[in-house]
Structure 1
């Protein structure tokens, strides 16, 4: 009975403290949290990073406890902004991304807009990752347009222009500066007008207009001093210093550079940064002190209670016994944990070894994919190119069904190879569907012709049933659709002998500009067991076959599933053993007669046909030399071919060319090094990388070398001529 009373007193005491704690936390109001977030923002504006971080962390803890996601987003954004000012950019990115997560939970486009802009600033101006930074700016413009925030669009285009100018890409950045100049009176203020003047100064300095450049820079500095915007003022002095140095006013340039350093030192003096960096530690120390004070007060109160009451003393003794028991339990558990940790440590080492092996395997796989991509695309370039040459030089073969099927199959094989080699891109939805005008009956008929040999091999008949109600012309990615049909029909033909494979295309409905079609591929072959039907869409899975039967990789249906998914649809299967199989899917294409007519009318005709353009092709592969030379000369261009970079350099010393087509993977000296040597000679002739490498693999190296554009082999000759026309026109404008 006595023990029950003691337990009751302990529980009552715990209940009291718990109730007090809950009562205290529940008193946190949204107004208090808002006041804290506003206070933190104020400290940030006045560059008191220490106080801003301290107040932000208090606001963040209270916002998270109250599930106030709006204040949570604002607090994370403020903390990130502090770290950005302190040049701790990795921490800033971390907290901006956390802010983005909470902004998405409340669908707050305004905050999402600002966070994207802040991330764009860091990646462009601090990380120097301009492509990534500009993507964030583009997201900012998208959200700004969504919420009709014209002021933010103005600021974002200002930042994009600044980013391009910062790397010397004035042509790319100038449209944004034009927009900013147009709307600066409407959306600008004294603060950002200083930056606008600085950008105009940079542009006119690039254009060698000394008077305008100096005028704009001085206006930027004057406004920066007036508004006390030290960051923009410092950049105005820096860019003005560069301009002065460029025009030979070195003394004035030095004075402006000195002023830039002085302002930067004021903004980021060492003492201020050190105080801010220990702000988080000071907050934690304060928390520990409060806990110690609390325990000291409780201890003093307990001593007074012990003196006044024997019951309390007895309770204290019981508690001590319990604590001793807990201590014993903790010691015992600690020993157990040590043993477990030792085992976990051993297992962790094995996991690390396995992880390193997996990473090495992934690296080797990536290298293999890159190499095989180049090796496969190179001969395919020859196949596609020579097929085109045969058709061009033998007009009587233009309508030859075998040659047409060969050309179609070669293009399909190229697309299939690209998709297999870039399976990760398909799974990450990085493939973008393209818009072409096409006739569904023609595309299906082309598929039938390309699979004629496979059908005859198994004595099968391919039957087409195209709904006549389907509009004559639709808009969509006909190549991806052909891949789907080829895979499904080809699969059906392999598993059917002496039978039929039918392709049914039925019009479901037309709503506005959307035309929904139902596709069915039906065969009367061996069928698929019910238990295997869920497996067939997995990669490298083949069912219902013996080791010597049916060729294939097991990738066809997996690719079909992912390609159908790109059309926002699903593929289903119904099958029975020895009865047959039916695959079905629905795709909505665009039906827009006016747009179709526009696409047909916009098929570009190469207007540079009569221009005397002199082209130099640098290519080591003999077949590729033949194909490229024939393609160039077909457009009435003059073409010279060399098989290595040194020969190109030697020829350029003797002859002038309007455009250079540069292979990348060549012996002796590759395309990048050849381009660098060409640029070092002061030759500004546009250079196009004509390569079998994936574009994403060589973009950075190409820009660094001085290459103007990239086109992947096999290429569309019309696209090549359009790029040549554009680059040669730009060259003439510059001259």
Structure 2
């Protein structure tokens, strides 16, 4: 009995030593995983900021060209440039936050769109790819679809841009068709079917199941087709966010067809309300005095143009200390505050402004992701957050809203 007890004690000691060692390994692995996740988040945040900052300049300067050169207003090249910049911004956001998409944390925006205009814009924007491969883009749009529908046009455009550019890439001397049909209506919703088909090289049946996986590029026998292998993965996830499912049919040597159906709102009262709100935002009669705190010279130029176009009085300073000094000398109605600046960042600048009991409304204009900075922005005393690049109407709307609440 004593011998058995002794053996059990020795066995338990060995087991405890083994478990302690494994526990230590698990803790080390957990710490490494947490560190890797933290580094990944920091990388995504940094790259996101660095990409959005020049995009603000691209979008802003495109708007400036349209405003300053009336002869370019109807230029398909300028429209394509603006559309491509918007699309690139949306794509960059989704590529850098693919985990956010997978976790269904992407929130669709509701705005009015003319579906026919959006489809033609997609076709025009990709015409250079079509020309390179001697392809034709053919659009077929059901005339019974309401003139205006409500939905997220950037996300829809991103889906179609990915599908059409993919089709053009794998088609030579052929056709790519964008077919849009009204399947049925259900109260204030219209179920609209989208189809993108091509006469290209097709996809082998054995590969159809994996084309929507991330970073997958099907082995092609013909030319070297470049790409990250993320397009169709993003398409599938965005279609799911719209509450739908995408299907594919393909035959080698004959072509491929993708199709899906999305329900859009068609409530005419809601459409009129959104359009009315937009028109109000663009016609502010009040002249405000704005302090712009921005260190990037190109972004200063873009913001300056927005201020001038709306007849606002404004002062632009390069850093937070200059902003605090300006607020001590002059009266301003609102501050547009960049976050990532030298010497002192936008958060600390706002903190110092509030310590001086200056209650001026402050809008953060930043290239960081909104969900990363919103909590801290409100905690230090900011009143609103706007992510670069943005449409000028959204900035004017934000200023007007704060001014109404401040009266």
Same fold (TM over 0.5): yes
Q: Which structure has more strand as a fraction of its residues? A: 2
Give, in whole Å, the separation in 2 of the partners of 1:596 and 1:727.
24
**Taking structure 1 as reference, are residues 498 and 578 closer, same or farther at Cα in structure 2, changes over 3 Å only?**
same
Q: Distance in 2 between matches of 1:551 and 1:557?
A: 14
Is the contact made by 2:284 and 2:400 (CA closer than 8 Å) also made in structure 1? no
State whether structure 2 residue 262 is matched by structure 1 residue 575.
no
User: Rg: which structure is higher?
Assistant: 1
- Match for residue 339 of structure 2? 664
**Equivalence for 2:280:** 605
Determine the structure 2 residue equivalent to 1:510: 185
> Larger deviation: 656-665 or 720-729?
720-729
Q: Residue in 1 aligned with 2:54?
A: 379
* TM-superposed deviation, 1:362: 0.7
Q: Distance in 1 between matches of 2:363 and 2:23?
A: 50
Alpha-carbon shift at residue 405 of structure 1 (Å): 0.5
Q: Which residue is 1:426 aligned to?
A: 101
Alignment-derived partner of residue 553 in structure 1: 228
CA 680–716 in structure 1, closer or farther in 2 if over 3 Å, else same: same
Q: 1:385 to 1:513 in 2, by over 3 A?
A: same
Task: For residue 331 of structure 1, report the CA deviation from its aligned partner.
Answer: 8.7
How far 1:640 sits from its partner (Å)?
1.0
SS of the residue 1:357 aligns to: helix
Change (3 A) 1:500 1:607: closer
1:390 matched to which residue of 2?
65
The 5 A counterparts of 1:183-582 are 342-545=17-220, 549-582=224-257
CA distance in 2, matches of 1:650, 1:533: 63
Q: Is the 8 A contact 1:608 1:725 kept in 2?
A: no
Is 1:692–1:712's contact at 8 Å kept on the other side of the alignment?
Answer: yes
Is contact 1:528–1:544 with CA below 8 Å preserved after alignment?
A: no
Of 299, 314, 331, the match for 1:624: 299
Q: Tell me if structure 2 keeps the 8 A contact 1:610–1:636.
A: no
Give 1:523 deviation, angstroms: 1.2
Given the two structures, how large is their TM-score scaled by the length of structure 1?
0.53
State the alpha-carbon separation in 1 of the partners of residues 10 and 184 from structure 2: 71
CA-atom RMSD in angstroms:
2.4
Instruction: Measure how far apart 1:620 and its partner are.
Output: 0.3
Contact kept, 8 Å, 2:337 with 2:364, in 1: the verdict is yes
Instruction: Quote the Cα distance in structure 2 between the aligned partners of 1:548 and 1:495.
Output: 9
Q: Structure 1 residue 668: deviation in Å?
A: 0.8
- Per the TM alignment, residue 387 of structure 1 is displaced from its structure 2 partner at its CA by 0.5
The equivalent position to 1:683 in structure 2, one of 358, 369, 388, is: 358
Number of aligned residues? 406
Change (3 A) 1:598 1:655: closer
| Structure 2 runs not aligned, ≥5 long | none
Partner of 1:710: 385
Question: Per the alignment, in what secondary structure is the counterpart of residue 36 of structure 2?
Answer: helix
* Pairing 1:118-197 to 2, within 5 Å after superposition: none
For the Cα contact (< 8 Å) 1:661–1:689, is it kept in 2? Answer: yes
Q: Per chain length, whose mean CA-contact separation is higher, i.e. which structure has more relative contact order (CA < 8 Å, sep 6+)? A: 2
Superimposed CA distance per residue, residues 565-585 of structure 1 (whole angstroms, 9 cap, x where no aligned partner): 011111111112222211111
Compute the displacement of 1:410 (Å).
Answer: 0.4
Structure-2 separation of matches of 1:380 and 1:372: 12
Tell me how far apart the structure 1 counterparts of residues 374 and 112 of structure 2 sit (CA, whole Å): 30
Q: Does 1:641 align with 2:311?
A: no
Contact 2:282-2:393 at 8 Å conserved across structures: no
